[in-house]
Amino acid sequence: MATNSPERARVRLDDISSRAYEHPADRGALVALRSLRGFDEVFKRLSGMFNERALRLMFLSSAVRVNERQFPEVYNYVRDAAYVLDLKEVPELYIQMNPRPNAMAIGSHKPFMVMTTGLFDLLDPEEQRFVVGHEVGHILSGHAVYRTMLLALIRLAARVAWIPLGYIGIRAIVTALEEWYRKSELSCDRAGVLAAQNPEAAKRALMKLAGGSRLAEMNPDAFLEQAREYDRGGDARDSLIKLLSLMGQTHPFAVIRMAELHRWIEDGSYQRIINGDYPRRSTDRDANVGQEARNAANSYRESWARSEDPLVGTLRDVAGSAANAGGRLFDTVADRWKNGPRNGGSAS
């Protein structure tokens, strides 16, 4: 059985599907997109607006590429994460001089990762393992392709801001994509824990993202209490402020990430995967789009049921009916896309 000790060998999760760790709202969107024949290729062509080659050259010329001779320990973390999550190729990682703590996975054809010195210097080795695993999770899930579309739409929204109806329509799409983006971050926090197999290091890293390097002054239980207090909110005014504060945010707040990861570990999901109980990539084609849509809606309903926020109470019943209706809708769309037009022609 795997333990949390960094000295022990990590369990390799052979042929693990990204569905194993993806948040239901993230997984539902990705399964729907993957089920549409040729849709990934369309997205990759559209992502040509985002010059992956130019970005790689930029980091090649202005950052340090991690390998056996440069940041060799971090290079071992990358190779280890790729091995544990059974990624076919070891992705490149660049360390960039930037005091702002950040890390990202970029690209669609050959994704690569970037970690700033602000984040690198903030974390200890096991916490760095968690961050590297988090970014490898983004690559395994294929998030980079869809994030590229979000970036393109944000730019487009800025350009058409002077056209009221056009801006409102694009802004609505961007808002939905930002919500998906935030859920994808929760997914990859889980991937990071699976890669590092050290939950406590993951929690420390999230606390440091909120409070800096003085870890001795922080307490995980108190940090989780902050998350509960934030979730409870106050009156309807506080609920509205929380909703507005998410506008333009692509990452959940640190206390929320900590609470979600803690809940996922405590409910046994982490240990089940470590023990070998997880969906395989070889079964990805069999994933049911409608069921995943229902799972996504139900995940919102369950989170609202746990919440004491006064505003979300009005949404609980809506989520229940949306789960079933959304599932039926996705079933119909997916079947038509897969089977093609009924007149015998092929889907274009």
List CB contacts of 85: < 8 A, sequence separation 6 or more.
13, 16, 133, 136, 137, 140, 191, 194, 195
Q: Which stretches in the chain have pLDDT values below 70?
A: 1-8, 28-51, 145-176, 233-240, 242-244, 246, 248, 288-348
Q: Report pLDDT for 271.
A: 97
**CA 174 from centre of chain:** 16
- In this structure, is residue 65 part of a structural domain? yes
Q: Which residues fall within 8 angstroms of residue 29, CB to CB, at 6 or more apart?
A: 146, 180, 296
Q: Is residue 297 part of a domain?
A: no
267 located within any domain: yes
Burial class (CB in 10 A: 0-12, 13-18, 19+), 285: exposed
232-236: Cβ within 8 A, 24+ apart: 232/307, 232/308, 232/309, 233/308, 233/309, 233/310, 233/311, 235/310, 236/310, 236/311
Q: DSSP secondary structure string, 110-137?
A: S-EEEEEHHHHHHS-HHHHHHHHHHHHH
Buried b (16+ CB within 10 A) or exposed e, 117-150: bebbebbeebbbbbbbbbbbbbbbbbbbbbbbbb
Quick one: pLDDT at residue 25?
A: 75
* pLDDT value, residue 202: 97
**28 lies in a domain?**
yes
For residue 8, the model assigns a pLDDT of 63
Task: Note whether residue 78 is domain-resident.
Answer: yes
* Residue 337: predicted pLDDT: 43
Strand partners, 104: 114
pLDDT of the residue at 147: 67
Cβ atoms within 10 Å, residue 242: 16
Please write the tens of the pLDDT for every residue from 288-303. Answer: 666 656 665 666 566 6
The answer to the question of residue 315 being in a domain is: no
Count of structural domains within the chain: 1
- Residue 327 falls inside a structural domain: no
State which residues form the domain around 215. Answer: 18-287
Residue 301 lies in a domain: no
Where do the H-state alpha helices sit in 197-312? 199-211, 220-232, 236-245, 254-266, 269-274, 289-306
Q: Are 205 and 130 in contact (CB under 8 A)?
A: yes
